[in-house]
Amino acid sequence: MLDISFGEFVLIGVVALVVLGPERLPTVARTVGALVARAQRFVANVKADMQQQANLQGLDSIRQDLQDAAQSFRGQLEAEVQQVRDTIDQGAADARALADEAAEPFHEAERTIHGGLEPDAEAREAEARPAEEAPAVQADAAPPRDENQLDLFDDAPAHRPASQPTASQARE
């Protein structure tokens, strides 16, 4: 710590013995020893505090570097995601345009086939006709029957006993 040799310490001890005397020398030596110990502790604490501050500054710089790297990575990631979204949107727009181009010949053919009528035009015309013009279809009505045709699926006429007259015979 101090560049004092052993000989210089002996010289200081002899001078202190002559000046202070043998009675007060042990008390002064203890006091000086306590002050030197206190000074050594203070120097050690200051060194420890300085080392801790240096470590904290190093940790702060490392933390700041990590935060900067994370922000940079986040920015790059967001830019990549935006590029992918833009590419997908562009692809979707191109697909819609191609679908419209591909559908145009079909729409043109449909207009040609239907003579310019809209597909739902016939349905609207049918609704617009009066109900009197439309042929009345009865759900219970049987289709017209040809008497000359043998129908195998009709029920056979029920045989009536000869003793009971039919309704037409009873009127006569």
pTM of the model: 0.34
Question: Closest Cα to residue 33, out of 21, 50, 16?
Answer: 16
Distance in angstroms (rounded) separating the CA atoms of residues 60 and 40? 30
User: What percentage of the chain carries pLDDT values higher than 70?
Assistant: 67
Over range 118-130, report the average pLDDT. Answer: 58
Question: What is the radius of gyration, based on Cα positions, of the chain?
Answer: 59
What's the farthest any 2 CA atoms get from each other in the chain? 178
Query: Are the CB atoms for 119 and 110 separated by under 8 Å?
Result: yes
Residue 167's pLDDT band, with cuts at 50, 70 and 90, is low
Over range 44-61, report the average pLDDT. Answer: 88
Phi, psi angles (nearest 5°) of residue 134: -70, 135
Most confident of 82-91, 131-140, 141-150: 82-91
Distance in angstroms (rounded) separating the CA atoms of residues 96 and 94? 5
